[in-house]
Amino acid sequence: MTNSTPRLSLEGLRQFSPIDFLTPHYLQQLLDSLQYVEHQAGSVLLRRGENSLALYFLLEGEVWLGNKKLGRSIQAGSPEASRALNENQPQAIDVAASSDVRLMAVERGLLERLLSWSQSASYEVASLQEEQPHAESDDWLSKLLRSPLFGRLPPAHLHLLLARFEFVEVQAGDCVVHYGEPGEHFYVIKQGRALISLPASYQQPLQPELHRGDFFGEEALVSGSVRAASITMLEDGVLARLQRNLFIELVRPTLIPQINATQLQQLTAHGNKNSLLLDIRLPMEYRMAHVPASMNLPLAQLRQQAANLDNTTLYAVLPEGGVRSELAVHLLNQLGFEAYLLTEQPGQAPVAA
């Protein structure tokens, strides 16, 4: 059972490790993402040998670690309770509730990203400024480092990538990428504004603008397809550009987080999250054979239908769509959803509609 009250304060969250290493900005971000879970006395919270995508910290009550004869107990508020009950993977021992307990669940990946940002982002900005002494402002870089795209990168990869950016001056009216052409670069706007546009034959009521720190061009590099839109500069500016081979080698693997059926079950059970199997193939492909209980949402409709999706649900994208499935995971995460590529079938035989 999940209970949203009472919630921790920032000061209360600082009592846990390694959360106490986070800077105030990222500590608040973690606080806003917490899930609270309650279990009754006698419940098994964590089983030996399992892997979990969440870290669980004891907030109230008492838990027992190991077997009844040789194990030991941990009380909420004790020094031992400042660390996660399942810090190491796979889980080394069983953990059961000696009394009614209340836990907080923290997504491992999110905590790792926030720790990386707290400890390395300012270093990366300063380091790149040393390599680019004529940079006018680091606002664009700070914004990029806070994005989900670069937030998953290991610090070593991040520094290498930032050092390999090329800086290109552009003028108002320049078309940086053209609809339908192959993708050769990933771009970040360091200075200036740009407009996203489609050919006149497409209905496009809105023409979104891109500003300093916004990036574009990654979708063609993720999918290996051609450019899905044109980008035209609205004013003179500077673009940071990364070559295709570097992007594919160091960035692309982190854009498609994966999950298997066991991990999906554990995450939804312990974190009390709803999950949905998503099939992004064409309706005709879906009708021929699909996993029961999966929802069909073709990739081409993903952006338009995103407003109808529940942002508290975990989306497991089925792999049958191949590269399309990978691109769907990336797009969903960019739109603020929690999405993974399912690496194995959930044990259900496909059926025809």
Residue-wise pLDDT for 189-230, tens only, equals 999 999 988 776 555 555 688 999 888 988 778 767 778 788
User: Region 21-40: what's the mean pLDDT?
Assistant: 86
pLDDT in tens, 238-288: 999 988 888 877 777 677 788 888 888 877 776 567 889 999 998 888 888
pLDDT in tens, 107-153: 887 887 777 666 544 434 334 444 444 444 457 877 777 776 676 66
Range in 95-99, 136-140, 183-187, 327-331 the model is least confident about: 136-140
345 confidence band (pLDDT: 50, 70, 90) = low
Which tokens belong to 340?
A: 């993974």
- Classify residue 235 by its DSSP letter: S
User: Region 171-198: what's the mean pLDDT?
Assistant: 91
Q: Which CATH class is domain 256-342?
A: alpha beta
CA 121 vs. chain centroid, Å, equals 17
Region for 123 from its dihedrals, namely left if φ exceeds 0, alpha if ψ lies in -120 to 50, beta otherwise? alpha
CATH number for the domain running over 10-108: 2.60.120.10
For CATH 2.60.120.10, the residue range(s) in the chain are 10-108, 132-254
353 confidence band (pLDDT: 50, 70, 90) = low
Protein fold of 132-254:
Jelly Rolls (2.60.120)
For CATH 3.40.250.10, the residue range(s) in the chain are 256-342
| pLDDT of the residue at 256 | 79
234 confidence band (pLDDT: 50, 70, 90) = very high
pLDDT in tens, 66-98: 877 677 899 999 988 999 999 888 888 899 999
Among residues 236, 231, 266, which one has the least CA distance to residue 346?
266
Which tokens belong to 76?
A: 């909420």
The secondary structure of 31-78 as a DSSP string is: HHH-EEEEE-TT-EEE-TT---SEEEEEEESEEEES-TTT-EEEETTS
Give residues with Cβ within 8 angstroms of 203, minimum separation 6.
Answer: none
**pLDDT for 162 beyond 50:** yes
Among residues 342, 346, 304, 341, which one has the least CA distance to residue 326?
341
45 confidence band (pLDDT: 50, 70, 90) = very high
Cβ pair 218, 149 in contact under 8 A: yes
168 confidence band (pLDDT: 50, 70, 90) = very high
User: CA 230, CA 223: separation in Å to the nearest integer?
Assistant: 17
Range in 39-43, 49-53, 222-226, 232-236 the model is least confident about: 222-226
| pLDDT of the residue at 352 | 58
User: Region 52-76: what's the mean pLDDT?
Assistant: 88
| pLDDT of the residue at 58 | 96
User: CA 171, CA 234: separation in Å to the nearest integer?
Assistant: 8
- Cα radius of gyration (the chain): 23
| pLDDT of the residue at 129 | 40
